[in-house]
A and B are shown apart, each in its own frame.
Chain A
Amino acid sequence: GESVGLHLPTLSVQEGDNSIINCAYSNSASDYFIWYKQESGKGPQFIIDIRSNMDKRQGQRVTVLLNKTVKHLSLQIAATQPGDSAVYFCAEKVSNFGNEKLTFGTGTRLTIIP
Chain B
Amino acid sequence: DAGITQSPRYKITETGRQVTLMCHQTWSHSYMFWYRQDLGHGLRLIYYSAAADITDKGEVPDGYVVSRSKTENFPLTLESATRSQTSVYFCASLTGLGNTIYFGEGSWLTVV
Q: Interface with A: B11-19, B61-69, B99-107, which one?
A: B99-107
- Count contacts on B: residues with CB < 8 A to the other chain: 25
Tell whether, in the assembled complex, residue B103 and residue A44 are in contact, meaning their CB atoms are under 8 Å apart.
yes
How far is A89 from B4 in the complex, measured between Cα atoms in Å?
A: 20
Tell whether, in the assembled complex, residue A106 and residue B99 are in contact, meaning their CB atoms are under 8 Å apart.
no
Tell whether, in the assembled complex, residue A42 and residue B105 are in contact, meaning their CB atoms are under 8 Å apart.
yes
Query: Size range of the interface on A?
Result: 20 to 34
Partner among A42, A44, A49, A99 whose Cβ is within 8 Å of the Cβ of B50:
A99
Q: Which residues of A contact B31 (CB under 8 A)?
A: 100
Inter-chain residue pair count (beta carbon < 8 A): 53
Residues on A lying within 8 angstroms of B by beta carbon are 32, 34, 36, 41-46, 49, 89, 91, 93, 98-107
Can you list 15 residue pairs at the A/B interface with Cβ under 8 Å?
A42-B106, A43-B92, A43-B105, A43-B106, A45-B103, A49-B99, A89-B43, A98-B50, A100-B50, A102-B94, A102-B101, A103-B45, A104-B35, A105-B42, A106-B41
Residues on B lying within 8 angstroms of A by beta carbon are 31, 33, 35, 40-45, 48, 50, 56, 58, 90, 92, 94, 96, 99-106
